Structure 1
Amino acid sequence: MQATRTPQDDHAPTSAQVLIVGAGPAGLSMACALADAGISSCVLEASSLAALQDPAEDGREIALTHKGIKVLQGLGQWQDLPAAEIAPLRRAHVFDGDGLGDPLAFDAQGSGREVLGQLVSNHWLRRVAYQGALKRAALISIRADSRVAGIELGAQAASVSLASGERLTAQLLIAADSRFSNIRRQAGIGVEMRDFGRSVIVCRIQHSQPNQGIALECFHYGHTLAILPLNGDCSSLVLTLPADRATAMMAWDDAQFTQWVETELRGRLGEIASLGARHLYPLVATYAHRFAAQRLALIGDAAVGMHPVTAHGYNFGLYGVELLAGLLGAAKKAGQDLGESATLERYASAHRRNTWAIYQGTNAVVKLFTDERQAARLLRRGVLQMAQHLPPLKAAISAQLTGRRPGLLGQFQSLMRG
């Protein structure tokens, strides 16, 4: 297989054992993890080289669990992040309905840690993933402006046909090309898709009162408003509402928009001012029917595309990277074919165990807390009150937020035994 090693070198050809489609943070992190296991890869990306080298700010802030941070540290990416770009998530307060009552509060107490997690901008995660790939140029080749036209998953190898007419072959193909994965579709893998009929508006805001590192999740009637605490006197606003209403609000000027936000926050952060552009994203969750096929593995959003309310999306991507790289590294040491079905099935089974319950639970929470019927309003209020007065249940939720063990199921089992 012919590929360029990195965008900066002399375009010397290399032979890669694995093809990765998608040079987002999941795809590039996968390449880095494989390189650390001595496995060469070629990363194919449809967008331009400039977009990889200097990722645009897209309004998204990623909440990283301690487990996700550990994966990034192992890849050397966490160390490349400027300290000013890492914001601690100390506590989370959940409000329901009119938002006037006491919140359900979560913190890291009992976890042995000071914070629930850390917040990092998505474009910075993309940047350090790309830098990590460049540091491993001997084993990673990156090809921008490379659109995949077709794939072939054979018994002996996986092949990719590019729009340019070029054909590339390797032992294994990994899809990391978004929740709307073209590779997944071409492989004939279906997906459970939940279109919530809603959109998310994200932007940064400035406020006159300190956020104290506290995330606010306000399940108001008709919309959900979340505040993610950043460093200094600013935060990230994540507003979820019906798609038609979101489109209309995107047309508001800054004064109208910030006044509305200030009102909805009930004065919690004082006076609000807009910082930068607003970004609009459709809200769709996906879960692939299979995470592996012959000579193919799915990672990142191509495997699981989460609703952002529980902040597990990119963390799941990192867990999948660590898991798959570990299995492939072991296969390499044993002299096995990297595309062997047994290895891929072990990955698929383990990643499903790690993600399925949280995916379904997240969607159930979203369904309940966006249901405006009176019975649902009473039920969601009761759920929050129960969590407030049952420490084991509250601890279970906090355990999932911090990514520590035991997991949510284990905590519930302990609660039932008690």
Structure 2
Amino acid sequence: MTNSFDSDVIVLGGGLAGQTLALALDQAGVSVTLVDAAPLDDMLAPEFDGRASALAYTSYRMLEVIGAADRMRAHVQRIEHILVCDGRPYGGPKPGGPGPHTLHFDRREIHPEDEGEPLGWMCENRHTRHALTACLKARKDIQLVAPMKADRWEHIPGGIELFLEDGRSLKGRLLCASDGKFSRSRQQAGTRTAGWGYDQTGIVATVEHEKPHDGVAYEYFLPGGPYAILPLPGNRASLVWTERTEIANAILKLDADGFQAELDKRFGDFLGAVKEAGPRWGYPLSVKFAERFYEDRIAYVGDAARGIHPLAGQGFNLGIRDAAALAEVLADAKSLGMELGSPVTLQRYAKWRKLDSMGLVAATDMFNRLFSNDIGPLRLVRGLGLSLVDKIPAARQFFMREAGGETGDLPKLLKGESLAA
């Protein structure tokens, strides 16, 4: 029976979450085959993805343990502070930039050491992907099947068989579906989902600014939605600018001068002159989450389990936490001689991850609806609320640890501990 399987686990989807999971499984002694429709080398091209991710400090611990962080160091930026506030109205006497009511998070409140952990790390996704792919190719025991589309899967005795577009098939004890928010694997399994659109689009761009950002991330709320300025190495920032879809599409089509005018209205001058530094991307925003995080012989990871609003920058972090929990569950099951793909094994994974996931779905949805408007009395109340929380150290520390992924029962990898035997 053992020789009939190509590996213990087949990971379908070679995005950031899928690659992280494959590396974690390999370290844990669980054999793995990674399948992706795109050539992994092509995925390293700068034009593939304009996004950057804010990595929680627990997520970065895991990337250190699995070896990816060493390859990312030249491209990461520490986040020392986070400033959350209502943004100034576009047409006010001093439009753009942070408003008067602020909530300030300082990493020294939870990491007081001089060179202690930051609140998080910023890295452009292309550099994270480059590091993960390089690590995968250096692991001789990980089988990479890319570029190759998967056609369908079928249950077989003791496992699952994945049929590929070229006629081949792969057999594993478990299929880990990390094939995105619109997962075909999940659709074939018939796992129900719930979700909704926001009629919002996230405009993603990189900007250069005159003054240093000093490792401060800004998240301020404008009538169209959240507006995040996330520090990158040098005097650069990743801009995640949410607008109603109709307005966002118009902004994306503007020429350089028109885009600059809209940028100046919102960004403000607190970092000096600012200008666009690269192409723009637009991503329609929605929420979708699976009713179950597993089926028989199938586990859902990353956006296949749930895709959330990017307001808190937690999308990739949730995928990393999925990978950390699932790798530990499967390593424990293998050491005890348990079936890797059985409901008994996968229930532990689902229980570990579902509460955290649903909490973030609810929280990001609530904050987006509360702050994405320009109702005068509501602006005043929420601004005063931010100022009130800012005066309560215990509340600030709770939110920082929650965003950092350090609440609840942490998997070993998120503590910076290896799963290697």
TM-score relative to the length of structure 1? 0.88
Q: Is the deviation greater in 31-40 or in 161-170?
A: 161-170
Query: CA 1:317–1:294 in structure 2 vs 1: closer, same or farther (change >3 Å)?
Result: same
- Contact between 2:44 and 2:129, CA under 8 Å: does it hold in 1? no
Query: CA 1:100–1:28 in structure 2 vs 1: closer, same or farther (change >3 Å)?
Result: closer
Task: Note the alpha carbon deviations across 1:58-85, whole angstroms, 9 max, x for none.
Answer: 221111111101111110111111x330
> Structure 2: how far apart are the matches of 1:93 and 1:156?
51
- Contact between 2:40 and 2:133, CA under 8 Å: does it hold in 1? no
Matched residue, 2:104: 105
> Structure 2: how far apart are the matches of 1:212 and 1:135?
35
Q: Which runs of 5+ in 1 are unaligned?
A: 2-12, 408-418
Matched residue, 1:68: 59
> Structure 1: how far apart are the matches of 2:190 and 2:300?
12
Task: Note the alpha carbon deviations across 1:247-269, whole angstroms, 9 max, x for none.
Answer: 11011112221232123223111
**Percent same amino acid among aligned pairs?**
30
- Contact between 2:28 and 2:327, CA under 8 Å: does it hold in 1? yes
Matched residue, 2:413: none
Task: Give the drift of 1:126.
Answer: 1.1
Query: CA 1:55–1:272 in structure 2 vs 1: closer, same or farther (change >3 Å)?
Result: closer
Runs of at least 4 residues of structure 1 off by over 6 A? none
> Structure 2: how far apart are the matches of 1:153 and 1:219?
48
Matched residue, 2:128: 125
- Contact between 1:38 and 1:329, CA under 8 Å: does it hold in 2? yes
- Contact between 1:153 and 1:296, CA under 8 Å: does it hold in 2? no
Choose the corresponding residue for 2:118, options 115, 119, 137: 115
- Contact between 1:18 and 1:171, CA under 8 Å: does it hold in 2? yes
Matched residue, 1:152: 154
Matched, 1:285 2:287: yes
Choose the corresponding residue for 1:264, options 263, 266, 270: 266
Matched residue, 2:92: none
Matched residue, 2:415: none
Residues 69-84 of structure 1: pairs in structure 2 closer than 5 A: 69-81=60-72, 83-84=73-74
Matched residue, 1:6: none
Matched, 1:233 2:235: yes
> Structure 2: how far apart are the matches of 1:137 and 1:246?
45
Query: CA 1:375–1:153 in structure 2 vs 1: closer, same or farther (change >3 Å)?
Result: farther
Matched, 1:134 2:125: no
> Structure 2: how far apart are the matches of 1:351 and 1:320?
7
Task: Note the alpha carbon deviations across 1:286-314, whole angstroms, 9 max, x for none.
Answer: 22111111000011111121221111111
Task: Give the drift of 1:383.
Answer: 2.6
- Contact between 1:310 and 1:362, CA under 8 Å: does it hold in 2? yes
- Contact between 2:218 and 2:230, CA under 8 Å: does it hold in 1? yes
Query: CA 1:49–1:110 in structure 2 vs 1: closer, same or farther (change >3 Å)?
Result: closer
Q: Is the deviation greater in 241-250 or in 91-100?
A: 91-100
Task: Note the alpha carbon deviations across 1:229-280, whole angstroms, 9 max, x for none.
Answer: 1121111111100111111101111222123212322311111111111111
Matched residue, 1:17: 8
Task: Give the drift of 1:406.
Answer: 6.8
- Contact between 2:85 and 2:383, CA under 8 Å: does it hold in 1? no
> Structure 1: how far apart are the matches of 2:48 and 2:75?
13
Task: Give the drift of 1:375.
Answer: 5.1
Matched residue, 1:90: 80
Q: Is the deviation greater in 247-256 or in 377-386?
A: 377-386
Between 1 and 2, higher relative CO (CA 8 Å, sep ≥ 6) is seen in: 2
- Contact between 1:285 and 1:305, CA under 8 Å: does it hold in 2? yes
- Contact between 1:97 and 1:377, CA under 8 Å: does it hold in 2? no
Choose the corresponding residue for 1:366, options 365, 368, 391: 368
Query: CA 1:348–1:250 in structure 2 vs 1: closer, same or farther (change >3 Å)?
Result: same
Task: Give the drift of 1:391.
Answer: 2.7
- SS state of the match for residue 108, structure 2? coil
- Contact between 1:71 and 1:319, CA under 8 Å: does it hold in 2? no
> Structure 2: how far apart are the matches of 1:379 and 1:151?
52
- SS state of the match for residue 34, structure 2? strand
Choose the corresponding residue for 2:145, options 143, 149, 154: 143
Choose the corresponding residue for 2:20, options 25, 29, 39: 29
Query: CA 1:174–1:405 in structure 2 vs 1: closer, same or farther (change >3 Å)?
Result: closer
> Structure 2: how far apart are the matches of 1:373 and 1:280?
26
> Structure 1: how far apart are the matches of 2:117 and 2:299?
36
